[in-house]
Amino acid sequence: MAQIGHYTTAPIVKLVDFGAYLDLDDLGTVLLPKRYLTEDMTLGTQVDVFLHLDSNDIPVATTLKPRATVGECAHLPVVDINDAGAFLDWGLPKHLLVPFNEQHKRFELGGSYVVTLYLDAYTNRIVASSRLSRHLQEQARHFKPNQSVDLLICGKSDMGYKAVINHQYLGLIFRDDAFRPLQYGERTTGYIKAIRPDGKIDLSLQAGGGKGRDRLQQHILDHLAASGGRSLLNDRAAPDEIYRTFNTSKAAYKKALSALYKQRLIVITPDDIRLNDE
């Protein structure tokens, strides 16, 4: 079923001077304005569109792709502020409203904020909120340790970094599990470290236990093979160099080198590491 704030595919059932009407079942016929039509769009053509409300709160379709849909989170810039709230650029001509009571702190023009998109229960308009804990869950039981997840960094504290998990949950990356500075609004891949007894979610930037080390060990071997069997990134390499190449901490890298050395797969010298040809 087609829903406001989401993508859908629908057929063109009527062509008019100002666009085309799509058949969207429960929503009836919805206009796709002329500026989004292409020459190959004729009667019966199935068109992929995003549904939103126009300035008169009437459902309308667009072939533009916004930076987030309802139920998703994004880091978006403020382009206007008026008595209704702040307006964000989300990739559509009609900007996205964040009401004042949905701002975790008063937004500033030109600033960018992590928000979640939802449908207002009274107006059915797409709006956004930076009060993430109002709309996202902070507890979950279904995640498994070392499970890979998509993260959006949404806050920082003395303990570490708060992150949105898969657009739906909130979790914490303790400082020791980050191993590099993270930026507000940054998207990155992370891993479930643990689910606490109260259901809250601890995160890490790298998989723990043998699974993470095995993956890293293979990455090192692949790197050596692609580098002619030799690399200057030994156990004395700078943490930044290690991270740029392997996306991991120096501590994890040294553990992986040690494991490969014990398996007699590599040779470690004061100047480099090499594949063991023996």
Per residue in 95-141, pLDDT (tens digit) is 999 999 999 999 999 999 999 999 999 889 999 999 999 999 999 98
Listed in order, the ranges of the chain carrying CATH 1.10.10.10 are 209-275
> For the chain, give me the number of helices (H) and strands (E)?
4, 18
* One-letter identity of residue 94: K
Listed in order, the ranges of the chain carrying CATH 2.40.50.140 are 7-62, 73-134, 148-204
Q: Which CATH number fits domain 7-62: 3.30.365.10, 3.50.40.10, 2.120.10.30, 2.40.50.140?
A: 2.40.50.140
The pLDDT assigned to 210 comes to 58
Instruction: Lowest mean pLDDT of 6-15, 74-83, 173-182, name the range.
Output: 173-182
The CATH homologous superfamily for domain 73-134 is Nucleic acid-binding proteins (2.40.50.140)
| Beta strand extents in 89-131 (DSSP E only) | 96-99, 112-119, 126-129
pTM over 0.75: yes
d(CA 275, CA 255): 17
Contact 152, 200 (CB under 8 A): no
CATH number of 148-204: 2.40.50.140
State pLDDT tens for residues 222-240: 899 899 999 999 888 988 8
As assigned by CATH, the class of the 209-275 domain is: mainly alpha
Contact 151, 109 (CB under 8 A): no
* Token pair for 12: 């063109």
